[in-house]
Amino acid sequence: MTTIEVKRDGDVCQVCFQSEKGINVFSSRVIQSLGEQVSSIAESPELRYVVFGGCRTFVAGADIKEMSAFGPQEAREFARLGHSVFDAIERLPQVTFAAITGHALGGGCELALACDFRIATKNAKLGQPESRLGLIPGWGGTRRLVRLVGRSQALKLMLSGEHVDADEAARIGLIDEVVSDREELESILPRWYALMRQGSPKAIARIKRALLGADEIDEFAACFECEDGKEGMQAFLEKRPAGWMQA
């Protein structure tokens, strides 16, 4: 049985998936629980970074045993639930990371696709093998994979159902950085935080909204309604670091 553990440390939140057998899968119950945690994170302006994974293993996929008993209506409800949760992850105002150790297949890969950045250990395997089960990605994987790696590479991964290693995933743009092991993954994340820390949390949230279809002109104008816009420009003119407000 997969469980979710959430750890908060300052402005960083880590969402871990754990199982006694060492293989994490997404059942309806786990996805529902993940959605509840994501809702809580979205309402936490003190958080700037959210890491999904980074524990012993990532997520191997959906719970096939549970899915095998579905009829069309249950399948529709399961897909709708996963879509709502992964869409919520994509909309989080914080910077999100998938920290991939082990397998990120099917629903696990779709979770990674919903994050802003993906970092994987060398032993990681990624893929969308649903076609080998007579299925398709059901939680937004088709459109997110195309957006990330392009139509041709996305089709190759989905139609073949093949698993790719971390180096190949990095080559095609599926992941952003490859590290040797979990320890290096943990040590590399603070560098990513530092890279993003110079930006205003409110501006970062607005950039993410614009990328998801919000009106760019409206988001730009809104920057002038909040203190961060004034503070950022004034700090630039005064040649000093900006003091940002929470998102």
Residue tagged active-site, from 130, 168, 183, 184: 130
Alpha-carbon dihedral 193, 199, 204, 205, rounded to 10 degrees: 90
Three-class SS state of 3: strand
CA nearest 10: which of 40, 69, 50? 50
SS3 93: coil
Look at the chain and count its residues: 247
Nearest in space to 219 (alpha carbons), one of 204, 199, 234: 204
Catalytic site residue 219? Answer: no
Q: Are 93 and 205 in contact (CB under 8 A)?
A: yes
The rounded distance, in Å, linking the Cα atoms of 70 and 82 is 15
Decide if 130 is catalytic.
yes
Per the residue annotation, which of 66, 110, 177, 216 is the catalytic one? Answer: 110
Q: What are the catalytic residues?
A: 110, 130
